[in-house]
Amino acid sequence: MGAFDLKGRVAVVTGGNGGIGLGMARGLADAGAALVVAARNRDKSARAVAELKALGADAESVTVDVTEEASVEAMVKETMTRFGRLDILVNNAGTNIRKPPHELSLDEWRQVLDTNLTSAFMASHAVHPVMKRQGGGKIINIGSMMSLFGASFAPAYAASKGGIVQFTKACAAAWALDNIQVNAVLPGWIDTELTQRARREVEGLHDNVLRRTPAKRWGTGADMAGVAVFLASPASDFVTGSAIPVDGGYSIQG
């Protein structure tokens, strides 16, 4: 088997029906993996599955709310029923509520933390016994530039994305001898529904991103495919607990 070959592997991508998740799912499909697109919006997931099938992949959608423990456990169960194995988990589902800390309510804080961080705990917790039994696995957690930096308009989001990096390290250490590699990806500014909304809500964001990004462009879903394949494949078997920026150089200069 080639170092980047994912034939025979089964990947679950939360939030895999659009944006970064679908970009990663396309890459994994291209490398030979079977895909489970796990999100809430059934129509969007059906479109993503059709697209992945058109690439030649075996693909299925599972409706999940990643903030609900029973729903996350059912996602893993349905994957096992349909495919009989689960090799790769991408904890990608995420959200943001853009307000300064003094305007953010506790409910809003919890909504962001539940969706971005607690979800990754619940899904990783649910797949660990499966991966351990299979003799190994790959978990890819999606962080952000806010894993490194703060922003006045993103207190809960920055807390969740900082947390995801530390959670990644803890799982990597705990599960290394189970042959489960756990890594984080820190995307720069990627053009998706999430950031289309951000561009409307945060004045000057578009120009600031272009000014600070050495590559002088926003990233795309396709830019996220290569790192997903690397971290999901045997090529990264000695890489664990890392947080890899995929950001056109955004994080290397102020």
DSSP β-bridge partners for residue 187: 246
C-alpha distances in Å from residue 44, one per residue of 54, 66, 97: 15, 16, 22
For residues 7 and 197, which CB has a smaller minimum distance to ligand NDP in the complex? 197
Compute the least distance from the CB of residue 192 to ligand NDP, in Å: 3
Residue pair 25/35 in contact (Cβ under 8 Å)? The answer is yes
Site for ligand NDP in 127-186 (CB under 6 A): 142, 144
Query: Which of 6, 9, 12, 21 touches ligand NDP by CB under 6 A?
Result: 21
3-state secondary structure of 162: helix
Beta strands in the chain (DSSP E): 10-14, 34-39, 59-63, 88-91, 137-142, 180-187, 243-246
Query: Which of 6, 12, 20, 89 touches ligand NDP by CB under 6 A?
Result: 20
Compute the least distance from the CB of residue 152 to ligand NDP, in Å: 17
Residue pair 13/92 in contact (Cβ under 8 Å)? The answer is yes
Site residue total, ligand NDP (CB under 6 A): 30
For residues 40 and 132, which CB has a smaller minimum distance to ligand NDP in the complex? 40
Burial of 53 (0-12, 13-18, 19+ CB in 10 A): middle
**Contact flags string 55-84 toward ligand NDP, x per CB under 6 A:** ---------xxxx-----------------
> Tokens in use for 37?
């697109």
Q: By CB under 6 A, is residue 17 in contact with ligand NDP?
A: yes
Alpha-carbon distance of 42 to 118, in angstroms, equals: 23
Q: By CB under 6 A, is residue 18 in contact with ligand NDP?
A: yes
* Rg (alpha carbons) of the chain, rounded to whole number: 17
Site for ligand NDP in 182-221 (CB under 6 A): 187, 189-190, 192-195
Catalytically annotated residue among 60, 128, 143, 157? 157
According to DSSP, residue 84 is labeled S
Query: Which of 10, 36, 39, 227 touches ligand NDP by CB under 6 A?
Result: 39
Compute the least distance from the CB of residue 247 to ligand NDP, in Å: 8
Does the active-site annotation cover 250?
Answer: no
Cβ neighbours, 10 Å, residue 193: 10
Q: By CB under 6 A, is residue 248 in contact with ligand NDP?
A: no
The residues assigned a catalytic role are 157
Q: Which residues bind to ligand NDP, rule: CB under 6 A?
A: 14-15, 17-21, 39-41, 44, 64-67, 92-95, 115-116, 142, 144, 187, 189-190, 192-195
